[in-house]
Amino acid sequence: MSIAKGRILITGGAGFIGSHLCERLLNDGYDVLCVDNYYSSTKDNIAHLLDNPRFEVIRHDVTFPLYVEVDQIYHLACPASPIHYQRDPVQTTKTAVHGSINMLGLAKRTKAKILLTSTSEVYGDPAVHPQSEDYWGNVNPIGPRACYDEGKRCAETLFFDYHRQHDLKIKVVRLFNTYGPRMHPHDGRVVSNFIVHALANKPLTVYGHGDQTRSFCYVDDLIDGLIAMMASPDDITGPINLGNPGEFTIAELADQVIEMTGTSAGIEYLPLPQDDPVRRRPDISHAKKALGWEPTVPLEQGLEKTVHFFKNLLAA
């Protein structure tokens, strides 16, 4: 076997996005250390990687320090869907804040370059549309979503303070709705919810009138963006939005899933959750210019692959 290009740590590596990142970096010739406590992820996501001699897994909670030797760190660890992050909001905040402190400390000691996957939730229910990186957001700091929104905002603060105070090499990206194979079937996110309900011939749950908008980025496109960001020059710190600027209403998404799955169950309308953003769409001008990145997978194509994954999962 050839010598590895380097050793990369991925926190949250058994999660939906993390497992795809592990797979891509292994294929690119890196040694990959996957760290996860399986709070909102599953070992099934990385089972196919376990026989790879370049792949190593540690069961660990990032709220506790970790002592390893690495060249790069992708810090993804944090429950990202409302069902998961609101189940234990104090632990969610600790994961975002203490977890970032621990990973930044590790990066400082090993002189590793470190990337944070922040979130479009830092913009809250935005008063600016589309959302660009210079918008400071409209977040309720004491609402039920604050453990995640404010946790990630604080994580960004820590990253930039470590950069200024300790000259740490940092990268910060803000992820917009990402979907694709290996999503958790019960994570409460709209794409997985719609597909799982449709395949079970249950009504699709739409909150409000379904006229709120989201932008959906297929996971392969997102992984390209993460790797491009890590490979970018050190003076490109971010934050940089990564997402698909195509904007769809929730009702439009429901119609696509109904047509694709052939379900006859229809739609059930429920009240809007508190602080649910009305419009969400990334301005990716910065990503295009700094990284030469933009998504290429159209929603219909990505949904077909995701539906195929859930069909096989539910059949099993």
Beta-sheet strands, E only, within 120-212: 170-175, 178-179, 204-207
Q: Report, as residue numbers or ranges, the catalytic residues.
A: 148
Cis peptide before 239 (omega within 30 of 0): yes
99: left (phi over 0), alpha (psi -120 to 50) or beta: alpha
- For β-strands 240-242 and 31-36, DSSP reports them as unpaired
Q: State the SS3 of 79-118.
A: CCCHHHHCCCHHHHHHHHHHHHHHHHHHHHHHCCEEEEEE
Query: Distance between CA 130 and CA 285 in Å, rounded?
Result: 11
Q: Bridge partners of 78?
A: none
69: left (phi over 0), alpha (psi -120 to 50) or beta: beta
Q: Which residues of 163-172 are buried (b: 16+ CB within 10 A; e: fewer)?
A: beeeebbbbb
The first and second tokens of residue 140, run together, are 């309720």
